[in-house]
A and B are shown apart, each in its own frame.
Chain A
Amino acid sequence: MSSIVIQGDTSGSITVEAPSVAGTHTLTLPKATGNIATDATVGLGTKNLIINGDMRIAQRGTSATGLGNNDTGYHTVDRWQIWENGSPTYEFTQTQDTDVPTGQGFANSLKMACTTADATLSADDAFAFRYKIEGQMLQHLKYGTSNAEQITMSFWVKSNKTGTYIVNPWASSEISKAYTIDSADTWEKKTITFDANTIDTISNNNSTGLTIYMYMLVGTDRTSGTLNTTWSALTTANRAVGQVNLADSTSNYINITGVQLEIGENATPFENRMYSQELAMCQRYYQTISKMAGYSGPTTSGIQCSVAYPIPMRATPTMSQSSVFRFDDAAAGFTQSSTGLILGSTNNTGTLINITNITVNGTFRPHGKANTATLNLDAEL
């Protein structure tokens, strides 16, 4: 077996070894400058800790308008929350967009477009994409130990507003790193590596273990210090130093897609998962059901329905409905006079509910045909 040993300029070396079999084999290196990821640095299996990083699942809808004051929450694409602080006067529209970087294999991005500007932010204003990861999904990062891993976040971004933006992961302590949008209206790929977190132990459960803020604007409360580029205790003034104000003009927008968070110091190509796999991963946190069957007894009001969720959820979900339900049988249709339901026995795998504000008696009522309403199950972080 032949090998070449390349001696480093300190004590290290690397050995390139040919196989001990006959034949000629060619290993072609990429025409690029960078680091090569190996199985020593990249976990096999599911490497991307971000669900729906390519923004293709949008169970709640594809557009939400007037987002600003008191609108923290999930509005369009799954798993991607907006977070705001203060009492802002700016407003944004959020859409699942089809503007994507050319030739990268993405079909969607998440877009925020400013519709009401605020060029003079209040000190406590803040607005960000926020992504939360369950603690039990993060145990292999070995946080809180001397063996803790670095993590690398990569993503594509496009905006008319060039300048500095801040990404801020937060466990119990936090760290912030800046990236720059260099060219207006141009898709750019960004890569940010965060130090190993030897401080915070993340609980092995279904609660939030790591929260990532991708800021779009902040007031001086979060910019008056020095950017906190190592894991340390939360200091508000150090969280987003240098962040531009994306709300200073109604011409402003930002698109992101291809978000990947992985172990190690290298960004590897985006992990393309099957659509069905990505949808199922999203449904752990949110799902909609449009077909149910129910029974109305002769002495009960409403229609009782037993619902088994297609995917077990993170927690027992909150339930709402998109509009009034309609139940049909062969003879007639029956529609709620207004929305309403009561939870019976319920957990993270299914529920018994009573659909109220509807009058039918004694007959099995399949839920279908003209019904357009959905039962919405929310077990988000």
Chain B
Amino acid sequence: MIYKLSQFRDEVTSIHVLDDDRNFIKSIPFDEANTSYQEYLEWVAEGNEPEPADE
């Protein structure tokens, strides 16, 4: 599973989750009440970093 930041109108607005073949699975908003975002924050807290957004 791959986390990749996603940009909309020059602003990073969400996090994409991609499978190992880089197919889109889901888009996670920056909302601390969202359980997918909570899992992402735990992943970051383990020292991981998402891929940057496409320019």
Asked if A233 CB lies within 8 Å of chain B CBs, one says no
Contact of A338 with B13 in the complex, beta carbons under 8 Å:
no
Q: With a CB–CB cut-off of 8 A, which chain B residues contact A338?
A: 23-24
Contact of B29 with A316 in the complex, beta carbons under 8 Å:
yes
Q: Mark B17-37, 1 if CB is under 8 A from A, else 0.
A: 000000111111101011111
Contact of A320 with B27 in the complex, beta carbons under 8 Å:
yes
The size bracket of the interface on B is: 20 to 34
Per the bound structure, the CA–CA distance linking A381 and B33 in Å amounts to 9
Determine chain B's interface SS by DSSP, over half rule: strand
Contact of B29 with A381 in the complex, beta carbons under 8 Å:
no
Contact of A346 with B29 in the complex, beta carbons under 8 Å:
yes
Interface residue count on the A side (C-beta < 8 Å):
26
Q: With a CB–CB cut-off of 8 A, which chain B residues contact A345?
A: 13
Compute the total of residue contacts between A and B using a CB distance below 8 Å: 61
Asked if A207 CB lies within 8 Å of chain B CBs, one says yes
Asked if A354 CB lies within 8 Å of chain B CBs, one says yes
Interface residues of B in 1-23 (CB under 8 A from A): 6-9, 13-14, 16, 23
Most buried by B among A318, A319, A354: A318
Contact of B29 with A318 in the complex, beta carbons under 8 Å:
yes
Contact of B33 with A206 in the complex, beta carbons under 8 Å:
yes
Task: Known A206-B33, A318-B34; judge A344-B24 contact (CB<8 A).
Answer: no
Per the bound structure, the CA–CA distance linking A143 and B29 in Å amounts to 32
Partner of B26 from the list A318, A344, A352 (CB cut-off 8 Å) is: A318
Q: With a CB–CB cut-off of 8 A, which chain A residues contact B26?
A: 318-320, 378
Contact of A380 with B6 in the complex, beta carbons under 8 Å:
no
Interface residues of A in 332-367 (CB under 8 A from B): 338-348, 352, 354
- A sample of 7 more A-B contacts (CB under 8 A), given A318-B27, A319-B27, is A316-B33, A320-B27, A339-B24, A341-B24, A342-B7, A343-B14, A381-B35
Q: Which 5 A-B pairs give the minimum distances between C-beta atoms?
A: A315-B33, A316-B31, A343-B14, A320-B26, A316-B29
